Amino acid sequence: GNGESSKIQDFVSCTGASIDLAKSFLSSNNWDLNMSINTYYATAEPSTSSIEEESVPPPQPQVTERLFQPRYSGRVRQRRKPSSWQNQPSLAKLFKPPDDINFKGSFEQAADEASSAGSWLLVNIQDPLEFKCHQLNRDVWNKAEVRGIIEGSFILWQQENSSKHGQWYCSFYGVREFPHVAILNPKTRQIAKIWENVEDVVDVVSFQESLTEFLRTNSRASSKRQKREHTSSSTQDDDLLQAAIQASLEESATSSRGPKSEIKQHQGKQRPEPGPDVKVVSSVEISPDIKAAVKVSPEPDAGPSVTTLRVRLPSTMGGEQLRRRFFKKASIQNVIDFVWDHMLKAENVPGKGIENLVLKTTFPRRTLNKKATLQDSKLLNAVVQAEFDD
């Protein structure tokens, strides 16, 4: 037909082969012109007879690479010795993901690893259908300068948007555009920085400057160092508190020697009892009735109907973080009961009742409905803040 004749002419004009040879390659490849030309250059020596007759230079070979070699029908010809262009790096190597520095595991495991190492969590969600994602692998993640910054201050967690972990992250953080690159605080799981412009990510110079500037303005100490600083700060606060109590006692002793009118003015004020056992605590006595009213169900085993929740206690109580498994259908009140029970056992309860205890999301900030379930509140593998409302 006309279509076959046209393809024969295109094959001959492109390769310089004879018409019979063109028919042979086209028929062997179901008349696919591109595949026939690629097969010709991969398996056959170019014919020089027609080239010499027409006195025109030989055509340049077309370079086509595939991740998977196609199946060829017809007679298999002996391959030529590979030319110089065939020795170039393959597409798979050029766009290879950074598997050697990428954390293998779930988001929670990556965040825990970054938290224990005192590093930031660098998240990259890829869409294989977006070329910019492959460009990010080639131009950024494979650069030695960027790798040096990541290995020193970050834990890289790269996932495809179609993977189980990638789907969870996209659903939880509302990711719709790819490639997605963001820096997260591994303790709070909050996004500290996100690149909205894709061009700023795939440009290695711009991205490297952004990472350096972020580290310059958001330096973090290791978890061990933070623990030492927190202990030191707490010790200093205790010293200041004891000094204030001692000064108050001395002032009270001085005023007791003054006129009776001044003594009467101080009679209605509460003062700490003097003595070496002076201690100021935030807890109050809890009646057995209140303590018995709190019922906490046993912690369930891990499974598809179970999720892990992290609860940060109020900063006035040390900011301790609790971690426990709950059923996805458990209510917010069940979590509050667990927190309250922990406070009772630790004897660290402020002068407020359980009815004042609420849970709030960290970002965006909102108070959770006590009757809602964890699944309805979208709190699967999440972090919440426990606070006392007035």
Q: What confidence score (pLDDT) does residue 101 get? A: 94
Long-range contacts of the stretch 41-44 (C-beta < 8 A, 24+): 41/15, 42/79, 43/72, 43/76, 43/77, 43/78, 43/79, 43/80, 44/17, 44/77
pLDDT digits over 237-249, tens only?
555 556 655 655 5
Q: What confidence score (pLDDT) does residue 160 get? A: 95
CA distance 379 to 329: 11
Q: What confidence score (pLDDT) does residue 274 get? A: 40
Q: What confidence score (pLDDT) does residue 247 get? A: 58
pLDDT digits over 330-363, tens only?
999 999 999 888 888 877 666 677 788 899 987 6
- Assess contact for 360 and 382: CB atoms under 8 A: no
Q: Which of 60-64, 117-121, 243-247 has the highest mean pLDDT?
A: 117-121
Q: 68 pLDDT band (50/70/90 cuts)?
A: very low
Q: Which of 56-60, 68-72, 206-210, 382-386 has the lowest mean pLDDT?
A: 68-72
Q: What confidence score (pLDDT) does residue 64 get? A: 62
- Assess contact for 121 and 157: CB atoms under 8 A: yes
pLDDT digits over 125-176, tens only?
999 999 999 999 999 999 988 998 998 899 999 999 999 999 999 999 999 9
CA distance 307 to 381: 6
Backbone angles phi, psi at 120, to 5 degrees: -85, 155
Q: What confidence score (pLDDT) does residue 310 get? A: 87
- Assess contact for 65 and 90: CB atoms under 8 A: yes
CA distance 159 to 126: 6
Q: What confidence score (pLDDT) does residue 30 get? A: 86
Q: What confidence score (pLDDT) does residue 55 get? A: 55
Look at residues 290, 152, 123 and name the one whose alpha carbon lies nearest to residue 212. 152
Q: What confidence score (pLDDT) does residue 279 get? A: 38
pLDDT digits over 9-60, tens only?
888 888 888 888 888 888 888 888 888 888 888 775 544 444 444 456 666 6
Q: What confidence score (pLDDT) does residue 1 get? A: 65
CA distance 332 to 334: 5
Q: 122 pLDDT band (50/70/90 cuts)?
A: very high
- Percent pLDDT > 70 in the chain is 65
**What is the distance of C-alpha 356 from the center of its chain?**
33
Q: What's the chain's average pLDDT?
A: 76
